[in-house]
Amino acid sequence: MDVEGEEASSCFGRCGATAAGFFFFFFFVSIAGGGASFPSMRLLRRLYLRLPPFRPNPAATSPGSLYWSRTTTRPAGPNHPIPIPRRMSTCSSSAAAAVVAEGSAARRFWIAAASREAAFAAYTPFLVSLAAGALRLDSFRQYIAQDAYFLHAFARAYEMAEECADDDDDKATIIVLRKAILRELNLHASVLQEWGVDPNKEIPPTPATTKYTDFLLATCTGKVDGGKGSDKMVTPFEKTKIAAYTVGAMTPCMRLYAYLGKELAVFLKQDENHPYKKWIETYASSDFENNALQIEELLDKLSVSLTGEELEIIGKLYQQAMRLEVEFFSAQPVDQPVVAPLSRYCDPKDKLLIFCDFDLTCTVVDSSAILAEIAILSHQKASQGGADSSLDRTKSADLRNSWNMLSNQYMEEYEQCIASLLPPEEARSLDYDQLYKGLEVLSEFEKLANSRVVDSGVLRGMNLDDIRKAGERLILQDGCKNFFQKIGNKRENLNLDVHILSYCWCADLIRSAFSSVGCLDGLNIHSNEFAFEGSVSTGHINRQMESPLDKAEKFKSIKSDIGSTGPLLSVYIGDSVGDLLCLLEADIGIVVGSSTTLRTVGKQFGVSFVPLFTGLVEKQRRTEKEEESSIFKARSGILYTVSSWSEVQAFILGNDFS
């Protein structure tokens, strides 16, 4: 059974993206010295045929948005898959191309923010509780009272932007948008009364509210990048620039609310009596979406005549406004148990254990392909440099052919192995025991693949310094570095341990990768090690973790040792079938990327895959109703999917832009 046969379609349209990925890869591994030739045409052809299809991405739900992420769908080399770029979009490729071709500044700014700040807003206690319909009225009353200050600041900002705009059409658009805000303000008094807030009673703004409104009104006067502003703007162009800056600081608020409205509207279908239905429907409406599109189009038009430096300023204003908006949601008082962020949900006495895979969960490229390339180039350098005759002088071309053959053999046999372990019928609930037996077969296959690599001699002759240099240049997934840096900063205060469980052949590569970005301190790495004579690899691997069963046993051992000293909560973050047992053994299993093989195997054994935000909203509903010590349970059969590392950070640590 070809578990990923559907991914062979539409391959020609994606060849360019793959070629770019390979160009990056071989440029990267050149640090080992010498040049690098490309894989055989047969291997390239096989890789093109296995490129994944377009998938919707929940982090980019606005019309015309385009979001890029890197993931993989199948192993393509011993132990690990060769990395393949994946493009995900909520619109057709032609529509997305049109957006990019038009050079929409507003769209570019939102794309950058959608993968980070939007997640941090959604995962706040306020919005998770609101989505669940469990937010207490006092918290909502406080929110809408603060929101009134935002609306007044917006009305004033539109007025000032209108004064600066030079074009009559721009002025007309601003007037329309300002009238919408004024209508909302007129309705605000009745809404406040509906929720038990006296509109005539003065409620002071919170620091988070003041921080945004002050920022917005300062921008209206031209005070950007620490500037003093200008009381006298001589030319119409200078006025137009200030109008562009002002709109740039307002647009993210409109787009974020439209995004959140659509995200939360899903939960209205599950609860017709949702207490915050009116609020959600307001921001999920087509009218609000049209307003968001209007201000985005206005920003694009005002930006046309600006220089690159001025556009960069708008980009910074956009991001700053987004972060202030997130801080506003984070600051809303929520005096009730919440499931997000996890650091708040956990009892301070509980131990939080975070486990994570490395290859293609943390990284953009796969370590096995990197290490093999370094070894091939090391032989090439040794042959050219007249090194010690005791070193195996196998020609680099022969070694490359050997590696390509190993890769091709692995791909073919891995596919057969996966097909052989699948049960004939899909289980209705998690069948952990049968899954374990099936992965015993995969574990034997992985060990055999490693033996072939060792016997081939491909890994012989690598210098430890070259491996470390490769680790220093290894690029981590967007948001991954920031997550581990924040974990390191908070580790002592949060009572948590972090463990990396990896098939990687050489733990020195992992240590170097995390050390280079300041994340190694406090990180426990469990992986294989190369055998060295001096600083040169012998070609042998000290095998400590080379199969799904090895990972699971190590996971359970660590959890058992720490669990004996008190209560704990475990999280496992992974991307492939090799992580499946650990993902299920953890109290919370989080899937990064969109591996088709992982989903195929998981579903066949009764595993459900649920978007993390959706799952948390359901958990929040249960938190309000149940008295359980923890609503997260190991072997529940539910795994949570994310589209970015920002979601992982927002869920575990919450908002922290420091």
The torsion angle over the Cα atoms of residues 637, 641, 647 and 652, rounded to 10 degrees, is: 10
Q: How many CB atoms lie under 10 A from the CB of residue 307?
A: 9
Three-class DSSP labels, 431-487: CHHHHHHHHHHHHHHHHHHHHHHHHHCCCEEEEHHHHHHHHHCCCECCCHHHHHHHH
DSSP letter string, 258-310: HHHHHHHHGGGTT-TT-TTHHHHHHHHSHHHHHHHHHHHHHHHHHHTT--HHH
Query: What does the alpha-carbon distance between residue 459 and residue 474 come to, in Å, rounded to a whole number?
Result: 19
Of the residues 184, 325, 446, 585, only one is catalytic, namely: 325
| DSSP notation for 336-387 | S---SSHHHHS-TTSEEEEEE--TTTTBSS-HHHHHHHHHHHHHHHHHHHT-
117 catalytic per annotation:
no
d(CA 315, CA 297): 15
Q: Note whether 123 and 341 are within 8 A (CB).
A: yes
Sign of the four-CA dihedral 363, 368, 374, 376: negative
Beta pairing partners, 589:
572
Separation of alpha carbons 641 and 257, rounded Å: 23
**Local structure of residue 81 (DSSP, 8 states):** P
Measured CA angle at 47 (ends 360, 111), to 5 deg: 50
Of 91, 164, 253, 582, the catalytic one is 253
Name the residue with tokens 């301070």: 348
Query: By C-alpha distance, which of 267, 274, 354 is closest to 562?
Result: 354
How many residues comprise the chain? 658
Cα–Cα dist 30/20, whole Å = 16
Long-range (24+ apart) CB contacts under 8 A made by 190-196 are 191/144, 192/144, 192/145, 192/148, 195/137, 195/140, 195/141, 195/144, 196/137, 196/141
Cis peptide before 199 (omega within 30 of 0): no
Give the C-alpha separation, 245 to 316, whole Å.
10
In whole angstroms, what is the distance from residue 209 CA to residue 211 CA? 5
* Catalytic residue status for 253: yes
Burial-class residue 274 by CB neighbours within 10 Å (0-12, 13-18, 19+). Answer: buried
Task: Name every residue whose Cβ is closer than 8 Å to that of residue 381 and which is 6 or more positions away in sequence.
Answer: 32, 33, 34, 387
Gap between the Cα atoms of 115 and 127, Å rounded? 17
Nearest to 586 by CA among 354, 359, 362: 354
Which residues are tagged catalytic? 253, 325
